[in-house]
Amino acid sequence: MPGVARGTTKERHPLDSVCAAAEELARHALEEFTTPDSVGAHLGAAADGERLVTHRFECHLPAYAGWQWAVTLARAPRSRTATVCETVLLPGPEALSVPEWTPWSERLRAGDIGVGDLLPTLPDDPRLIPGFTGEGDLEAASLDELLMPPQWEIGLGRERVLSPEGRDEAAMRWYEGDRGPDSAMAQAAPATCSTCGFMEPIGGLLGQLFAACANEYSPADGTLVSVDYGCGGHSSIPPAESASLALGDAVIDHVAYDAVDVTAALVGEGSGSLAADAEATDPEAEDVHATDPENPDAEAVDADSAAELADADAPDPDGSATESAIASGDEEDETHAAE
């Protein structure tokens, strides 16, 4: 009927018997196109149109696992011979292929713009609305429009400004992001940014919910945060009180060594007292005055030696003993020289 659109369905064609039986012709065409060992078993034939059949073969190329060779054969009307139309390599159901193409505008993600990248904005971007660019636009605007800031923004010098829809999208994105009240940092904070001295308010409608952080030690420094966000750098956190440790008396270890009083030795009580102390501290020391039964004269020798030591230690007021010793020494030297 005129003026009525009719739906079209894909017409199904019967499988041509002549083209379907020409399997060897299709294989021979592939062997001329590629190496014979890359063509595998015959997978079947399907009708693509009237007297038009496509044969499929396995592909044994290492880089094309799961792909299939396709050879299309055709036959002229009232002809008994099939001819080769084309040979092509097509991906099979299990072939590794690229994902379905997606427009670039749908592939963009937050933060994709890098240094030197340019991202054009569509003229009908719903996030933007036309702005007032000069005094002429202000003169053409009515007074009622100027007194309604929720529906209008001056934006002098800008062709377009943020629309209410774009502002709402930005506010929701920031509020639900890492600088919102539901983030892990805000949940662990002792207080919110609304009571922090490092919070810097901003103007506009977004200033009712967001502010700028000015704490250089905060992870949110220099960024917009929600007023109910928080971190560990809140200005109301007092400094920790340092506990002073009381120092006790020095502890001396008496296990590793023995304490010895050497004051008497320093004032000079004599060598006899030191020898006595040495004998007292060493019980295993042998008595130097003990008599040797095999040498009865040893006791007399020791007595003479002790007497000589006592004489040597005794004071000499006039120095005569010293002169006698020097003269005796000189006589012994002359005697040795004469010998």
What's the farthest any 2 CA atoms get from each other in the chain? 166
Contacts of 232 (CB under 8 A, 6+ apart): 185, 188, 189, 190, 218
Rounded distance between C-alpha atoms, residue 26 and residue 22, angstroms:
7
Give the pLDDT of the chain (339 residues) as one tens digit per residue: 334 344 444 567 888 899 999 999 999 999 998 998 999 999 999 999 999 999 999 999 998 989 999 999 999 998 999 999 999 999 998 888 788 888 877 888 888 888 998 888 888 889 988 876 555 555 555 545 444 444 445 555 677 888 889 999 999 999 999 999 999 999 999 999 999 999 999 988 899 999 999 999 999 999 999 999 999 999 999 887 766 667 777 777 767 767 677 776 666 555 555 555 555 555 554 444 444 555 555 445 455 555 554 555 555 555 555 455 455 555 555 555 454
Tally of CA atoms within 13 A in the half-sphere of 73 that contains its CB: 27
- Does pTM surpass 0.85? no
Sequence spans of domains, the chain: 17-91, 125-162, 167-226
Within 10 angstroms of residue 180's Cβ, the number of other Cβ atoms is 19
Rounded distance between C-alpha atoms, residue 46 and residue 73, angstroms:
10
Rounded distance between C-alpha atoms, residue 196 and residue 215, angstroms:
10
